[in-house]
Amino acid sequence: MRKKLDLANAVKVWRLDGEDLVSVRMIAGHAGYPYDFRPDDSRGRISLEDFMVSWEEAFPFAQTDVLDKWKVKTLNAETFNYYIDRTKLAVAGSLSATTTAKLIAYCLLIMEAEHEALQAARVEALRFGRPGAQEKCSFWRIEVLALANGPRAPIGTVGFTRKPAHGRVRI
């Protein structure tokens, strides 16, 4: 038995018009970096606006959605969880073009934050890794001095020459 189409819950999709493209361009302009949406290393740059136009056939946009209705300017963690129904993210026609652009911008911000956090963690790991290595080298230098000079080697004989001075090895 076939289901009847419920016109009350049917999504209205439409082609992007000039107003939609202007709003997408403005959303992309608020990003701190001009992202390039090329799929490979081909020449030229593909803007967010051009990217969305290229996907319009495969993933049509709704005319308006809840974010447009409530005039939500940007997405963040709170507004995303409040307004976006995760079960309908993959449903074509459930999001408008401006909401899709806001969602892409929000995801790019998350990726930037993750990248910066990973870079900071890497720098911290390098910073805290170096003193440990220096301490080990100093310890080994003291051990070499103790072995070369015998048990009475003074601690202050650490230098940078390799010639023995007064019977003691200087490193």
Percent of the chain at pLDDT exceeding 70: 64
Note the pLDDT tens digit of each residue in 39-90. Answer: 777 778 888 888 888 888 888 888 888 888 889 988 888 989 898 888 888 8
What is the chain's alpha carbon radius of gyration, rounded to the nearest angstrom? 31
The DSSP secondary-structure symbol of 61 reads E
Q: Is 39 exposed, middle or buried (0-12, 13-18, 19+ CB in 10 A)?
A: exposed
Using DSSP, state whether 18 is helix, strand or coil.
helix
pLDDT value at position 151? Answer: 55
How many angstroms separate the CA atoms of 96 and 62, rounded? 4
pTM for this model (two decimals) = 0.63
